[in-house]
Amino acid sequence: MRLKNKLCIITGAAQGIGAAIAQLFSKEGAHVVVTDTNKDLGSALAKKLKCDFFELDVSCESGWEQLAKKYEHIDVLVNNAGITGIDTGRPQNPEKASYEDWQAVHHVNLDSVFFGCRYAIKAMRKKKRGSIVNMSSRSGLVGIPAAAAYASSKAGIRNHTKTVALYCAEQQLNIRCNSIHPGAILTPLWDAMLGENKEEAMKMCVKDTPMKRFGTPEEVAYTALFLASDESSYMTGAEVVVDGGILAGSTAAPGSDIDK
């Protein structure tokens, strides 16, 4: 019961990592609000978890205003919803990406985090406490040639997390804000990238990952649980990497140890 009686709003929670967070938070005693644009999947999950569903397009300011009217005071917000742009089938590299695609990805991934943090600070101010967890990515820490807008938006999330953390501390609010940076986590987000020959494509994707496998949504959910709970009470403005070891080193490192 690590989140007993805490009101936790999770965006993009109809499937994938968000759904795993909603399930784990419910198990840990939270009052969860599943939010998503996918009404069918989102409300089905909410029914299963016996919690609320709220239809929210995170890129839409008026949607956040409606949410604020319904949930004036909250304990936790997980800004999880995100898109890569790759499923459009159009190029996402820095040379050929269209401005529309660049903007669309930033709108859903980054503007949403601005809206979400602004709402959460107001909704947590009365109790002077709370936790905001922003879903960035490993792609927010390194460049990604085939997903320029995605990488840029995730880097923006990382930095805004630190700004929000410092602002809240300056205001003497015990409102913490941290980011999570997952590597390859097997969810429907990967469908467009893995294509028909899924098993083969998966092997290729993780061949340079030290742990040689995809992560699971539950492994990210446990990180979100720690950051949402009071166990991480001295952590703010921090970034937690969950990537099977990719960022621990470099594929250009010198070869194997002589003993091997």
**Unique residue bearing structure tokens 């899924």:** 198
Give the sign of the dihedral formed by CA 49, CA 51, CA 56, CA 58: negative
Of 57-65, 163-171, 201-209, 229-237, the window that binds ligand NAD (rule: CB under 6 A) is 57-65
Range 150-209, binding ligand NAD (CB under 6 A): 182, 184-185, 187-189
Whole-number Å distance between alpha carbons of 4 and 27: 9
Binds ligand NAD (CB under 6 A): choice among 6, 7, 8, 11: 11
Whole-number Å distance between alpha carbons of 191 and 249: 28
Whole-number Å distance between alpha carbons of 40 and 15: 11
Name the residue nearer to ligand NAD (CB basis): 173 or 194. 194
**Least distance from ligand NAD to the Cβ atom of residue 179, Å:** 10
Residues 6+ apart with CB under 8 A from 204: none
Q: Please tell me whether residue 244 binds ligand NAD under the rule CB under 6 A.
A: no
Binds ligand NAD (CB under 6 A): choice among 8, 18, 177, 227: 18
Whole-number Å distance between alpha carbons of 88 and 24: 31
Of 23-31, 34-42, 123-131, 226-234, the window that binds ligand NAD (rule: CB under 6 A) is 34-42
Contact by Cβ (8 Å): 211, 11: no
Whole-number Å distance between alpha carbons of 160 and 54: 25
Whole-number Å distance between alpha carbons of 79 and 102: 20
And the tokens for 67? 């949410």
Task: List active site positions.
Answer: 150
Residues 6+ apart with CB under 8 A from 159: none
**Least distance from ligand NAD to the Cβ atom of residue 73, Å:** 22
Name the residue nearer to ligand NAD (CB basis): 93 or 171. 93
Name the residue nearer to ligand NAD (CB basis): 166 or 192. 192
* Contact flags string 70-99 toward ligand NAD, x per CB under 6 A: ----------xxxx----------------
Whole-number Å distance between alpha carbons of 229 and 257: 41
Name the residue nearer to ligand NAD (CB basis): 11 or 232. 11
**Least distance from ligand NAD to the Cβ atom of residue 80, Å:** 5
Binds ligand NAD (CB under 6 A): choice among 3, 10, 16, 117: 16
110 secondary structure, DSSP code: I
**Least distance from ligand NAD to the Cβ atom of residue 187, Å:** 3
Contact residues for ligand NAD, defined by CB under 6 A? 11-12, 14-18, 36-38, 56-59, 80-83, 108, 135, 137, 182, 184-185, 187-189
